Amino acid sequence: MARAHFDQDAERPAPQNVPPVRARQGLLGVPVLIVLVVGLILAAIAWWGAELFGEAITPPASEQVGNPANVEPVQPGGPAPASRP
């Protein structure tokens, strides 16, 4: 199958000289800084909300059973079977 040859240079417009300030994609760094600061503030608010929720669902010390420092970790696969004499 033969491909038709097109002269691409004839269809392409001549390049234009654009000043560097006009060729930039965005403004200076102020809007980016605002987005970053607002995102940081929202993350801090979410963290604060999670802390409040964590404190709200923690049972009082009088309702906790045992000392958490003395609890033995559970082995994977459940408790070990008791030995029979």
Please write the tens of the pLDDT for every residue from 48-74: 999 999 988 887 777 767 776 776 766
What DSSP element (H or E) covers 79?
A: none
What DSSP element (H or E) covers 21?
A: helix 20-23
pLDDT tens digit string along 35-47? Answer: 999 999 999 999 9
Question: Under DSSP, is residue 59 helix (H, G, I), strand (E, B) or coil?
Answer: coil
Question: Under DSSP, is residue 63 helix (H, G, I), strand (E, B) or coil?
Answer: helix
Amino acid 12: pLDDT: 72
Amino acid 15: pLDDT: 82
pTM of structure: 0.45
